[in-house]
Amino acid sequence: MPILAGGIITAGQLDRMQPRVYYAQAGSPTTITTTTYTAVGGCSITLDTLAANARFSVQANFSFDVTTAVSGVYTKGALFVDGVQQSGEARWTEGTSGNDTGDYDMAGKAWLGTLAAAGSHTLDLRCGLSSVTGTPGIACTGYTDFTVTILEVV
């Protein structure tokens, strides 16, 4: 609902006009051993929206550390909103031959979306592998983090 000239602005409208920023960082490494996405411990944010159709902006940094290298396998990181994977993923592999044991790097990804209903929402980061051929060992380290900005309609 727009604010019309001469209209009275309510406290609720003012509250929704300001962006709200949330931040979470992984507490410890999460070992990745499967193609199924695994939750990154500490990288979950639960928040409340006051109105339907709130917009979210997410900037994520995935920190990957190879413990057992397997050629051709890449790591992937994704955002889940209320348990649903969002489109797109961060990916990382070292060179054309795959990861080397001891390699470490960051992969970033941004997402934009809408929270259709007002109420409680959970946004979390999860990591996985492109393949488990050769049983690679990769950790999504404690340096993995993300920032969520919520913009609500008045």
Residue 30 falls inside a structural domain: yes
Half-sphere exposure of 98 (CA within 13 A, CB side): 19
Question: Is residue 120 in a domain?
Answer: yes
Structurally, the chain folds into a number of domains equal to 1
Residues near 83 by Cβ (< 8 Å), separated by ≥ 6?
A: 122
Residue 73 lies in a domain: yes
Paired tokens of 8: 């009275």
Amino acid identity at 61: N
Q: Which pLDDT does position 22 carry in this prediction?
A: 98
Q: How are beta strands 104-115 and 145-151 bridged, if at all?
A: unpaired
For residue 1, what pLDDT is reported? 57
pLDDT of 138 reads 74
Mean pLDDT of successive 10-residue segments in the chain (154 residues)?
75 78 93 90 95 95 82 87 97 63 82 97 94 73 93 80
126 found inside a domain: yes
Q: For residue 7, is it within any domain?
A: no
pLDDT at 52: 92
For the entire predicted model, the pTM comes to 0.86
* d(C-alpha 90, C-alpha 108), whole Å: 6
Indicate whether 9 belongs to any domain. no
Q: Which domain covers residue 117, as residue numbers?
A: 18-151
Helix, strand, coil tally for the chain in percent (to 5): 5, 55, 40
pLDDT at 127: 93
12: part of which helix (H) or strand (E)?
Answer: helix 11-17
Please report, for the domain that includes residue 25, its CATH number. Answer: 2.60.120.40
For 146, the token pair is 């993300």
Q: Compute CA distances 125 → 16, 42, 95, 100, 102, whole Å.
A: 26, 9, 25, 24, 23
SS3 (DSSP) at 144 = coil
- 68 within a domain of the structure (yes/no): yes
